[in-house]
Structure 1
Amino acid sequence: MSALCDWQSAGEPLDTAPVPQETEALQRYAYLVRRVVAHMRTQIGVVADRDDLQQIGLMALLKAIRRYGREQDEQFESYAFKHIRGAMLDEFRRLDWRSRQSRQEAHRFRDGVRQLRSQLGREPSEPEICAALNISTKQLMEFHYLEQAEVVDSFEQLLEQQGPMASEDRDIARLEQRRLLAQTMQQLPARNKLLLQLYYTHELNMKEIALTLGLTESRVCQLHKQSLQLLTEKLTS
């Protein structure tokens, strides 16, 4: 609980500091922050300061406690997880974690894989990609995470864009969005569908999903990216 102590001593930037009842709830649900930190660090694939992420997560958790509007129940965990995850995504965007260099490297990586795929007439294996591009397995994984992060970020922003509309119209748009998402999910291959369920519903990270499905972490990243690209195309068509 050192992160909670540091955060409290540093000063609460919200309107008021947590009251004893809120502090107790923060301590009880602090594990959600640790879970989201693990989830996000694996997804984004960048070096981020764990303490900074925990501070952001704890502030988001306090906001979730205050906004929930009733005593925490079995539904609160999912509610708080989404709020904490959203706060961390906003922070990644604010910091612009994709540096110009990383974008250029990702572009060269995509071009190299595309050229190799054209030469082979099929999807290249991980060892073939590493040999052709003269990169390590770890570097290959980092490239996959960078590509995946870009797709995830675009997909998340698409879901968040409701535009300036009346509350009733916004609710209708969200219902239609959920219907279209569910409909599109049914069109995905069974493995892709399961992967998305494990990631978004069961909140597993890429490494945990790889172990569950018996795939490499790199392959899980590719399948996740492909699934989100398909969903994005359907939602924007």
Structure 2
Amino acid sequence: MLDSGWDTHDELAVSPPRTGEQAILTRYLPLVKRAASHLRSQVSASFDQEDMEQVGMMGLLEAWRRYGSEPDAQFESYAFKRIRGSMLDELRRLDWRPRQLRQQVHGHNQVQRELFNRLGRNPTEQELAQALDCSVEEVRQLAYASQAEALQSLEEWLESGGKAPTAESDDVDMAMTLSKVLGSLDKREQLLLSLYYQQELNMKEIALVLGLTESRVCQLHKQCVLQLKQRLVDSI
């Protein structure tokens, strides 16, 4: 009998099919919801939670298609970055800060500075609401929007304006610079950034950890981001 050259076991050893996309969407839906909650500070009235999650689902599918293998311990972290990135890209595309909101944020920041100068301390949410003739919840939303402007400015600068990496060594240099600059912040600022970017807590959760109001956490986060950007500029 002629040898066909095929091994029966090899012929039958077919790789199992990858997990279906619907199963991936179901399994990692909590990840999408967590990313949307994490980016709540960049959501305006023109882009609600459901919209954010739909965009995140597309980011999850893109992450799954690019990953090339079954989900493992590293996939969740990889997918979260892709999901968050897709949400940020969509926010930029929509120009999510209409002129009226920009004006309101400017007014909020101006009143906050005036109250600080007059009181000699940071104003409370109630004091800001009274001065702005609005509700405490509206004060919080303006604080989120103000914080988001600073965050987007830093992210855009890191992506293209500050130092565009041209080689792997440039990436290492930037990582070392970031580490050095982060180390120059005070302990509370480092903790806040760690809770937001590493522990992936949202502003409400961070406020509970630090024992502060949400609007105060937004204000501190904005200050940290602006300091971080300026110190990065000075370091390069």
Find the residue that maps to 1:161 and give its secondary structure.
helix
- Residues 236, 20 of structure 1: CA spacing in aligned structure 2 closer, same or farther, 3 A cutoff? same
1:227 equivalent to 2:224? Answer yes
1:215 equivalent to 2:235? Answer no
> Alpha carbon RMSD of aligned pairs, Å?
2.2
Normalized against structure 1, the TM-score is what? Answer: 0.83
Matching residue of 1:195: 192
1:158 equivalent to 2:178? Answer no
1:33 equivalent to 2:32? Answer yes
1:45–1:142 CA contact under 8 A, matched in 2: no
Matching residue of 2:138: 139
Sequence identity (%) = 47
For 2:57 and 2:124, how far apart are their aligned partners in 1? 41
Q: Please give the per-residue CA displacement for 1:45-78, whole angstroms capped at 9, x wherever unaligned.
A: 4232333222211111111112223332111111
**Equivalent position amino acid for 2:86 in 1:** A
Matching residue of 2:41: 43
Normalized against structure 2, the TM-score is what? Answer: 0.83
- Residues 120, 170 of structure 1: CA spacing in aligned structure 2 closer, same or farther, 3 A cutoff? same
For 1:192 and 1:72, how far apart are their aligned partners in 2? 34
- Residues 55, 159 of structure 1: CA spacing in aligned structure 2 closer, same or farther, 3 A cutoff? same
Instruction: Please tell me whether Structure 1 or Structure 2 has the larger radius of gyration of its CA atoms.
Output: 2
Aligned residues: 216
- Residues 152, 204 of structure 1: CA spacing in aligned structure 2 closer, same or farther, 3 A cutoff? same
Offset, 1:188: 1.1
1:87 equivalent to 2:86? Answer yes
For 2:95 and 2:191, how far apart are their aligned partners in 1? 31
- Residues 124, 55 of structure 1: CA spacing in aligned structure 2 closer, same or farther, 3 A cutoff? closer
Offset, 1:178: 1.4
Unpaired runs of 5+ residues, structure 2, are 1-17
**Equivalent position amino acid for 1:150 in 2:** E
Unpaired runs of 5+ residues, structure 1, are 1-18
For 1:164 and 1:153, how far apart are their aligned partners in 2? 16
